[in-house]
Chains A and B, each alone.
Chain A
Amino acid sequence: MLKILDSTVITLNVNGEDRKVVAKPSDILLYTLRNELGLTGAKPGCENGDCGACTVLIDDIPIKSCLMLTVEAIGKRILTVEGLKNAPIQKSFVENWGFQCGYCTSGFLMVCHSLSKMHPDADDVTIQDWLQSNICRCTGYQEIEYAIKSILNGGSSDIEGSTF
């Protein structure tokens, strides 16, 4: 039985590397990533699971890191935006003007990245289901829609030249 009673050194697998961090049971993963590891790509936007700006992938699945205890991540693979290495969605967001202020972007990228891996043929309903987990306050979402669709199979190739 895993038992953590107080601040302890634990090992987290983050972006492919085992990292030792000090954590106590009440620590939230978002803050361990940000404050202990300096991975500030995941953002606090509501700390309540409503906005998605803190989304990371846990064993490839999107999770809002503000609603996860750090100790829950022991033994799991954590992927943050800093761990994306030229993922197609990054380029696609740049080329489709998928952000303005950029604060929600990391979270959107992680959801999109996971979606493209798990459902490369995702239809509109699935795309909407997944991406409704995140809030963007700057764009009209149309740019984000183009960005995700352009990396999914059957993605429209003329989006680059679109006149949105």
Chain B
Amino acid sequence: MEKPKIGVDTKRLEAWDKVTGTAKYNADFITPDTLHAVMLASPYAHAKIKKIDIKKALKSEGVLAVITGEDAPYLTGSMIHDRPPIARDRVRYFGEPVAVVVANTEEQGMKGVSLIDVKYEELPAVNKIKDAIKENPILIHKDLSRYTYAATDIYPKANTNIMDHVKIRKGNMKLGWSESDVVVESTFFLPQSDHIAMETRNSAAQIMHDGTVIINTSTQGPFAVKEELSDIFKIPEGKIIVKTPLVGGAFGGKATIQLEYIAYLASLAVGGKKVLVRNTREEDIMSSPGKLGVEGYVKIGATYDGMIKALECIYYVDCGAYADTAPRMAKSIASDCSGPYNIENIYCDSYSVYTNHGYTTSFRGFGHTASTFCIERILDKLAKKLSMDPSELRIKNAIKENDTSPTQDKITLSNTGDLNACINKLKKLINWEEGTLIENEDGMIKAKGMACLWKTSNSPTDATSGAIITTNSDGSLNLNFGATEIGPGMKTTMAMLLAEKLKMGVEKIHVFMDVNTQVSPMHWKTVASMTTFMVGNAVLKAADDLIKQLKQVGAIALKCQPEDLDVGNEMIYMKTDPSKFVFFKDVVHGYKYENGNAVWGEIIAKGNFIMRQLTPLDKETGKGKSGMSWTVGAQAVEIEYDPRMHTYRLIKAATVMDVGKTINPKTSKGLVMGGMNMGFGLATREEFIHDDDCILQTTSLRTYKVMRFGEQPEYIVDFVETPQMGAPFGARGLAEHGILGIPAAFANAMSLATKEEFDTLPIFPETIYKKKKEVEQ
């Protein structure tokens, strides 16, 4: 019999393409007929556009068209239609596209851009959350209440900068506080930052004679591109084809739609010719959306023996100049605001706030990195106040069966997993018992910090996926689905699921590596760590359909009933006598009798999936269901602190996560490690810095720093497997989660080592120096 596929390390299907340079990404398809669109970015964070003079640019060699906001009277946005694809009348953030030059070559486009003359009238900018929410603030969107909304459950406040407010009201706060013997409160801050996928965002558009629009784009959501282009530009959806090859990293940054609009408008301006718009790194950082910033106020109460009784939190999410999906992240912060702990009395307000910073979109963790930082830092402070081991406090309050989530969703072992098993395993891996604070003779201080995590998907309630299997006359299978390959190896995972189900070799499953919305079945978006769950379920359903058809045609070939048969090793065989069989290859394109007559035809199988039982949150109480399950985990970080120089070194970091079932172990560990590494980026260096005029200072990789080789600690990743019912082989989402607790665990370790409290990210040596200095004075 074929060996099992699930739980066995399987190299990604496209691995050799990626080490030979033959793997193609969107901007690698360079054709001589491709024109180039180059953007002019706003030099101000907030200004009126008084006049744009494009005459000189139009005369420049190779320039075919120049478009401005006047040519594009559209408003876009997945939640609120508040963003013009090219700024109109005013600019609201530094780097906002103001004009687009279409030229024969990119250089000519750049030259053209330099010849555009824009007259601005600078306006005061909202540079801080506190200025955005104060009385009579500078309004960034005067028309907020007149915009149209793509979502129904969003509640903007007219004449403010607050675009949404999510409330959680669970239990009885008065009771909670009265039962609390100790109360701890703190304010936290996490700055805006960037995705820095190595492939910058890029899109091409072409409009055919019959009006068909072909978009080639680097995206996590080709189907969303199709829908939103159709919606904004009133193009029938069937006339839009979106094609996405391999994607060079995404981390949420390619789940939104931005350059696609510009490419389309640029193509339209030159009679439908193919136009490519490709971000420079600087544009990718300053013009395209980044990660949200968060200010959090958290107050927690517990009994002397460490049972948490009440939680109050207020979050202000710096969404930047436009809404995009940011309000959904503010919602997800609220809906998981307790962390993976049972808290019966919760009061939470989560506000989505406009500022004149760059706008923001989904980012790995979907807001949970912020809520995890706040809750896990406050738990360490609580543990300190209670003189309790931080791990014990977490174990005591860990969420478990029959508890409820902040949105009053019922917790089961299946839908959440076993946090305490994760914590206990983690403590062994990181040698927690040896002590969390060790001062060496040479004066160096070693410290360990811990954080737990949980996250649910926060998808639309009707998110759906499909899968199609076709067949080859050698008996191998073709698998086609709508998730793009952005790095986590989802194409391979799906091949493994199908191979396992069919009991055949993975190498006989040929996966369509690209997505083409014309031929691929839909997948909502390749986001939220939901591909294995959603597409996986669709693939398993398609596999069932395939097996059913194989048995039906096999029954004809073997002159028996379908129920007498089973499949495996590319054969359909009698359960009672496997020596009686027919090969797949002899039936998948129809079965031919000895006399030449034939029946059945090509076997084509299909499967689909849609999210179940999800509901929006109640406006007043936050009651509702944001996802079908959670993934829980525990993380620890060990650092070495040099008290003389206030520098530190990352020594070790461990993660134990309840993933339900590991499908492809090395791939899963790689994803978790990658998340952890990004978490260290947020913890130690990544931030958007704005000057007093709200101008972004960190616009290139010279000033925006990410982790480099050799700076990472030793990574240890392990899993707990509590299966999730209804998930493919019990597997939970895991791709984002590695990032979630690292900043908190790091800050907990740093706070312990330095005897200072670090509630703001990132933590630089200078940050520590300043704290120490403050204390001295």
> Residues on A close to B: CB < 8 A?
26, 34-35, 38-48, 50-51, 53, 80-82, 84, 90-91, 93-95, 97, 99-106, 109, 127-128, 131-132, 134-145, 164
* Cβ-neighbour of B674 out of A26, A43, A139, A145 (below 8 A): A139
B427: chain A residues at CB < 8 Å are none
23 A-B contacts (beta carbon < 8 Å): A39-B21, A40-B24, A41-B21, A44-B200, A45-B281, A46-B701, A84-B19, A94-B16, A94-B19, A100-B487, A101-B197, A101-B198, A101-B199, A101-B250, A101-B486, A102-B17, A102-B246, A103-B197, A106-B21, A137-B196, A142-B714, A164-B669, A164-B673
Structural contact, B712 and A142, CB atoms closer than 8 A? yes
Structural contact, B710 and A141, CB atoms closer than 8 A? yes
Query: Which chain B residue lies CB-closest to A38?
Result: B30
Structural contact, B670 and A140, CB atoms closer than 8 A? yes
* Cβ-neighbour of B709 out of A34, A84, A138, A141 (below 8 A): A141
Assuming the contacts A101-B487, A105-B18, asked whether A164 and B717 have C-beta atoms less than 8 A apart, the reply is: yes
Structural contact, B21 and A82, CB atoms closer than 8 A? yes
* Cβ-neighbour of A103 out of B248, B673, B710, B712 (below 8 A): B248
A103: chain B residues at CB < 8 Å are 25, 197-199, 248-249
Query: Which chain B residue lies CB-closest to A82?
Result: B21
Residue count of chain B within 8 Å CB distance of chain A: 58
Judged by a CB distance under 8 angstroms, whether B549 is at the interface is no
Query: Which chain A residue lies CB-closest to B700?
Result: A48
* Cβ-neighbour of B18 out of A84, A95, A99 (below 8 A): A99
Please indicate which of the listed interface residues B107, B487, B702 has the most CB atoms of chain A within 10 Å of its own CB: B487
Q: Find residues 1-56 in chain B having any chain A CB closer than 8 Å to their own CB.
A: 11, 14-25, 27-28, 30
**Nearest CB on A from B248, distance (A):** 3
Please indicate which of the listed interface residues A39, A94, A128, A139 has the most CB atoms of chain B within 10 Å of its own CB: A139
Structural contact, A35 and B30, CB atoms closer than 8 A? yes
Assuming the contacts A82-B20, A101-B486, asked whether A132 and B709 have C-beta atoms less than 8 A apart, the reply is: yes
User: In the docked arrangement, what's the CA distance between A137 and B246, Å?
Assistant: 16
Structural contact, A140 and B246, CB atoms closer than 8 A? no
Assuming the contacts A45-B198, A101-B247, asked whether A135 and B706 have C-beta atoms less than 8 A apart, the reply is: yes
User: In the docked arrangement, what's the CA distance between A35 and B250, Å?
Assistant: 24
Structural contact, A140 and B198, CB atoms closer than 8 A? no
Residues 238-259 of chain B: 1 if any A CB is under 8 Å from the residue's CB, otherwise 0?
Answer: 0000000011111100000000
Structural contact, B670 and A97, CB atoms closer than 8 A? yes
User: In the docked arrangement, what's the CA distance between A125 and B45, Å?
Assistant: 43
B670: chain A residues at CB < 8 Å are 97, 100, 138-140, 143, 164
* Cβ-neighbour of B198 out of A131, A136, A141 (below 8 A): A136
Structural contact, B23 and A140, CB atoms closer than 8 A? no
Q: Find residues 269-287 in chain B having any chain A CB closer than 8 Å to their own CB.
A: 278, 280-281
User: In the docked arrangement, what's the CA distance between A142 and B200, Å?
Assistant: 24
User: In the docked arrangement, what's the CA distance between A38 and B28, Å?
Assistant: 8
> Residues on B close to A: CB < 8 A?
11, 14-25, 27-28, 30, 107, 196-200, 246-251, 278, 280-281, 486-489, 666-667, 669-671, 673-674, 676-678, 700-702, 706-712, 714-715, 717
**Nearest CB on A from B41, distance (A):** 16
Number of A-B residue pairs at CB separation under 8 A: 166
**Nearest CB on B from A104, distance (A):** 5
**Nearest CB on B from A132, distance (A):** 5
Assuming the contacts A26-B107, A103-B249, asked whether A109 and B19 have C-beta atoms less than 8 A apart, the reply is: yes
User: In the docked arrangement, what's the CA distance between A139 and B200, Å?
Assistant: 17
A42: chain B residues at CB < 8 Å are 21
Structural contact, B487 and A45, CB atoms closer than 8 A? no
User: In the docked arrangement, what's the CA distance between A122 and B577, Å?
Assistant: 60
Please indicate which of the listed interface residues A82, A132, A135 has the most CB atoms of chain B within 10 Å of its own CB: A135
**Nearest CB on B from A36, distance (A):** 10
User: In the docked arrangement, what's the CA distance between A46 and B282, Å?
Assistant: 8
Please indicate which of the listed interface residues B21, B30, B200, B707 has the most CB atoms of chain A within 10 Å of its own CB: B21
**Nearest CB on A from B625, distance (A):** 31
Query: Which chain A residue lies CB-closest to B681?
Result: A137
Identify the 9 closest CB pairs spanning chains A and B, nearest first: A41-B21, A103-B248, A140-B673, A101-B487, A102-B18, A50-B701, A81-B21, A100-B487, A128-B710
User: In the docked arrangement, what's the CA distance between A19 and B116, Å?
Assistant: 38
Structural contact, A102 and B248, CB atoms closer than 8 A? yes
B674: chain A residues at CB < 8 Å are 100, 137-140
**Nearest CB on B from A164, distance (A):** 6
A131: chain B residues at CB < 8 Å are 709-710
Query: Which chain B residue lies CB-closest to A124?
Result: B710
B30: chain A residues at CB < 8 Å are 34-35, 38, 40
B17: chain A residues at CB < 8 Å are 102
A143: chain B residues at CB < 8 Å are 670, 673
* Cβ-neighbour of A48 out of B16, B198, B702 (below 8 A): B702
Structural contact, B673 and A94, CB atoms closer than 8 A? no
**Nearest CB on B from A120, distance (A):** 19
Structural contact, B198 and A97, CB atoms closer than 8 A? no
User: In the docked arrangement, what's the CA distance between A154 and B543, Å?
Assistant: 47
B712: chain A residues at CB < 8 Å are 140-142
Structural contact, B280 and A47, CB atoms closer than 8 A? yes
**Nearest CB on B from A68, distance (A):** 17
* Cβ-neighbour of B281 out of A34, A41, A46, A95 (below 8 A): A46
**Nearest CB on B from A58, distance (A):** 17
